[in-house]
Amino acid sequence: MKLKRIGHRKLLALSAFVFLITLLILTRKFHIANTVVVPSEGGTYIEGSVGSMQPLVPWFTVTNDVNRDIVSLVFSGLLKYDPVAKKIKEDLATLRVSNEGQTYTVKLKEGLVWHDHTVENPHPVTSDDILFTYESIQDIKFPNQILRQNFLGVTLDKIDDRTVQFRLEEPYSFFASNLTLGLMPARPFEGVPVSKFDQVLDFAFHPIGAGPYAFKSLVQTELSTEITLERFERQMSPDHRLNQVIFRIFPDYSTLLSDIRNLDAVRNVPQDEAGDNLIPRRFKAEQYALPQYVALFFNLDKTILQDKNLRIGLQKATDKQRIVDTINEILVVDTPLLELDLTDWRYQYDPEAAQGAFFESDWNLPEKVRLQRLLEKHEANTFGALQISPIVLLDTGAILAVTGSIVDAPIGSTLNGLPISEHPENPEHWIAALPTHGGTGALVIGDNLVRLQEEDGTPIDSFYVWRTADDRAYKRASIEQDFLEMFIQTRKGETEPEKSITVADLYMEKGNLRRRLTTDPFDIRINSHNDKLSLTLLTSPSPPQYETVANLIAEEWGKLGVHVSVVIPKNRQEFEDKLVSREYDMLLFGQSLLDNLDSYPYWHSAGIQKLTDSKFDLRIDAYNLSQYSSIAADGLLEVIRKTGDDKERLDALSELQDVLKEDVPAIFLYSPQYAFAYHEEVKGIELESLSLHSDRFTTIHNWYLKEEKIFKPGKSWWSFFPWIFTSL
């Protein structure tokens, strides 16, 4: 009986075990079939970048992309740019535009507070903060004069504690972009003069904003400067999942890579020599472009560049594809109007067409100028009474005997002012002796125009004679004459193809033409005044690609006879001094259109630098780098800025495209590409159409590091038993 009881217990235990395993399996299958993986809150996102740390104030982060990244999370603007929808949308406030685009009314959302808000010391965001942020910018003593230009002629009125009205002197369809600037709290700046706002360092290095993340700490480590931000609970959507965002700023990329195991992402990943992004293992890279272009701007104040044919020739002589291939870029551009579809508008590299444009602009290679002069002399010498060798080798003291027919020139006529005589051996001919020792009728070293005149001075004929006393010079001139004859025969079609010769086959050396060798350099073009086609090209010391592009252009144009002197100042300040004072014939530089793609500052004549005797008259906001002035372009740019009609704006853009294409104020080259790398464990990143590097954070509310499983709608553990019966 004992044995039977033990056997029953084992069987019961085994049955219970099988049941338990089966239940677990079914439970797992049920859970898998009825749940989904969703993002969850939590986690710390750490991003590495190369750069330098500067004050974290929205007013003063225009030129520092690393700081702008941090500021974009700490501070929110009234509005923000949406890279997914490609338009400006609400952020801290709603917007209403009225009065045909001259009145912008913003209303703060309810419950907004600054990061230092507490129950004991409340600090709500109010209309006074809006007035403080923008009226400070309008103050003539405000430290950032470039930002101040965006709000000239704008009047602010407080409607109530949450509502402010911006009134413009005239319609400006892009004004909403100005309201994306991070809003500043008035309280920390109480008692500080406007002129000292950039010196409030306690705020600048411990900023207080109203953005989705609040500043927590700034720590200097052996490798980097570390800024930690914490999620700030706001009474507005969207909700953010990441608890913390840490920025680590490194001095260089190699130092950054030494800490890569502690990073979740890397901004602006550099390339290796082959053009491949230096992406760390287990990282993914997102390629993106900003609304930017790099161009070669012609300084149209320079007389030499006011010739449009020359500008067209230089444009045709620019191999853009070679440029982008060399610096590992991919996006060639041909216009500053980046919002247009330009698939059917491409400038083709065409060196032959460039040669033609140079000819039309009276800039020719010395070989062509020399050949043209030889042809003119040859044509003048071919017909007439005088038949002399066009080149002669005569030492000083020797004479050149010239003979001719009495029929053409009777006795009594003169040759170079000397009387002709009857030929001693042929009475039907005359003879004259041209001296070389000086005096009347003497042949000088070099070019001579020998004139045959009747006794009363009436011209009969003239002949060009070139004289030398140097054997080697005479040999060079003789070879040149042979090539001249070959060229004439080629032009007449009287020579075999393999013996034909063109001006491209000739090279000028020591004043004479010879056949060009593959090792011969290309000389500088000259015009009819013997001026050389020599231009200065200024570019910035950074990024390093600019130097590569500038030298490449100089090399390519040099092959066509255009001398380019590349000027790269030692530092940024020296470059900016030359840029502002327009000390260049051409400028290689980049321009950014930001989210509104407004070309007005760059191509309207209002952006021209007014050059005077005083450097204090120079404007740092004179963005028209070509000094370009066009009544047609000005009118179209004004329409584009003012109109609220999309069709009218597109029509004006199309017309402006044609005007710029016709005038050639610059050669547009390429749009830079960037790469943002992030670890595969970071999810939800979508860059879309960024206008600034920092715009990647406009969708940070979608980013997450942690996940959890939740039941599908309508499902729960109570659905387990019905599911079993359904599955059986």
Give tens-digit pLDDT for 73-117.
999 999 999 998 889 999 999 999 998 889 999 999 999 999 999
Q: Do 547 and 594 fall into the same domain?
A: yes
pLDDT at 1 over 60: no
The answer to whether residue 9 sits within a structural domain is no
The answer to whether residue 112 sits within a structural domain is yes
pLDDT at 3 over 70: no
Report how far residue 445's alpha carbon sits from residue 447's, in angstroms, rounded to the nearest whole number.
Answer: 7
Structurally, how many domains does the chain consist of?
4
Contact partners, residue 476, CB within 8 Å, separation at least 6: 509, 510, 511, 512, 514
- Long-range contacts of the stretch 617-622 (C-beta < 8 A, 24+): 618/580, 618/581, 619/580, 620/145, 620/146, 620/580, 621/145, 621/146, 621/149, 622/580
Q: Do 380 and 428 fall into the same domain?
A: yes
| Region 307-313 average pLDDT | 94
Report how far residue 339's alpha carbon sits from residue 650's, in angstroms, rounded to the nearest whole number.
Answer: 9
Q: Do 426 and 469 fall into the same domain?
A: yes
Report how far residue 672's alpha carbon sits from residue 591's, in angstroms, rounded to the nearest whole number.
Answer: 11
What is the DSSP code string of 520-554?
PPPPPPB-TT--B-EEEEEE-S-STHHHHHHHHHH
Banded model confidence at residue 720, pLDDT cuts 50, 70, 90: low
The answer to whether residue 460 sits within a structural domain is yes
Q: What is the mean pLDDT of the chain?
A: 89
Contact partners, residue 103, CB within 8 Å, separation at least 6: 97, 165, 166, 167, 168
pLDDT value of residue 617: 81
pLDDT value of residue 345: 52
Q: E strands, 1-130, where? A: 35-40, 44-50, 79-82, 87-90, 93-98, 103-108
The answer to whether residue 5 sits within a structural domain is no
Report how far residue 440's alpha carbon sits from residue 436's, in angstroms, rounded to the nearest whole number.
Answer: 10
Banded model confidence at residue 381, pLDDT cuts 50, 70, 90: very high
pLDDT at 251 over 70: yes
pLDDT at 710 over 80: no
pLDDT value of residue 31: 66
CATH number at residue 430: 2.60.40
Examine the fold and report which residue of 633, 651, 671 is the final residue of a domain before the chain moves on: 671
Q: E strands, 540-602, where? A: 563-567, 586-592
pLDDT value of residue 337: 84
Q: Do 192 and 228 fall into the same domain?
A: no
Q: Do 270 and 408 fall into the same domain?
A: no
Q: Do 186 and 262 fall into the same domain?
A: no
CA dihedral (12, 17, 22, 27) in degrees, to 10, reads 120
pLDDT value of residue 62: 65
Q: Do 504 and 376 fall into the same domain?
A: yes
Nearest to 347, CA basis, from 303, 296, 305, 391: 296
pLDDT at 344 over 70: no
pLDDT value of residue 687: 87
User: Which amino acid, 655?
Assistant: E
pTM of the model: 0.83
Least confident piece of the model among 398-402, 586-590, 712-716: 712-716
CATH number at residue 588: 3.10.105.10
Q: Read off the tokens for 149.
A: 């230009």
Q: How does pLDDT run across 119-142, given as a tens digit for each residue? A: 999 999 999 999 999 999 999 999
| Region 364-375 average pLDDT | 90
pLDDT value of residue 665: 96
CA dihedral (635, 639, 641, 643) in degrees, to 10, reads 170
Q: Read off the tokens for 315.
A: 């444009």
Q: Do 216 and 229 fall into the same domain?
A: yes
Banded model confidence at residue 435, pLDDT cuts 50, 70, 90: very high
Q: How does pLDDT run across 438-453, given as a tens digit for each residue? A: 889 999 999 999 999 9
The answer to whether residue 712 sits within a structural domain is yes
Nearest to 229, CA basis, from 45, 377, 406: 45
Examine the fold and report which residue of 485, 515, 545 is the final residue of a domain before the chain moves on: 515
Burial 531-546 (b: 16+ CB within 10 A, else e): eebebbbbbbeeeebb
| Region 309-327 average pLDDT | 94
Report how far residue 364's alpha carbon sits from residue 367's, in angstroms, rounded to the nearest whole number.
Answer: 8
CATH number at residue 109: 3.90.76.10
The answer to whether residue 26 sits within a structural domain is no
176 conformational bin, left if phi > 0, alpha if psi -120 to 50, beta if neither:
alpha
pLDDT value of residue 137: 94
pLDDT at 4 over 60: no
The answer to whether residue 120 sits within a structural domain is yes
Q: Could you give the 3-state DSSP secondary structure of residue 625?
A: coil
Banded model confidence at residue 478, pLDDT cuts 50, 70, 90: very high
Q: Do 285 and 301 fall into the same domain?
A: no
Report how far residue 129's alpha carbon sits from residue 123's, in angstroms, rounded to the nearest whole number.
Answer: 11
Banded model confidence at residue 339, pLDDT cuts 50, 70, 90: confident
Q: Do 509 and 563 fall into the same domain?
A: no
Q: How does pLDDT run across 417-427, given as a tens digit for each residue? A: 999 999 999 98
Q: Do 167 and 179 fall into the same domain?
A: yes
CATH number at residue 243: 3.40.190.10
Residue scoring higher pLDDT (39 or 239):
239
Report how far residue 526's alpha carbon sits from residue 523's, in angstroms, rounded to the nearest whole number.
Answer: 9
Q: Could you give the 3-state DSSP secondary structure of residue 234?
A: coil
The answer to whether residue 115 sits within a structural domain is yes
Report how far residue 537's alpha carbon sits from residue 298's, in angstroms, rounded to the nearest whole number.
Answer: 9
Q: Do 193 and 229 fall into the same domain?
A: no
Residue 145 belongs to what H/E stretch? helix 145-148
Is 686 in contact with 223 (CB distance < 8 Å)?
A: no
pLDDT at 346 over 60: no
pLDDT value of residue 278: 79
| Region 7-28 average pLDDT | 74
pLDDT value of residue 400: 94
| Region 25-29 average pLDDT | 73
pLDDT at 666 over 90: yes
Examine the fold and report which residue of 671, 705, 720 is the final residue of a domain before the chain moves on: 671
Contact partners, residue 606, CB within 8 Å, separation at least 6: 624, 634
Give the residue numbers spanning the domain of 219. Answer: 34-50+211-289+675-728
Nearest to 172, CA basis, from 156, 157, 158, 154: 154
CA-to-CA separations, 537 to 293, 298, 409, 578, in angstroms, rounded:
18, 9, 59, 11
Banded model confidence at residue 706, pLDDT cuts 50, 70, 90: confident
| Region 316-341 average pLDDT | 88
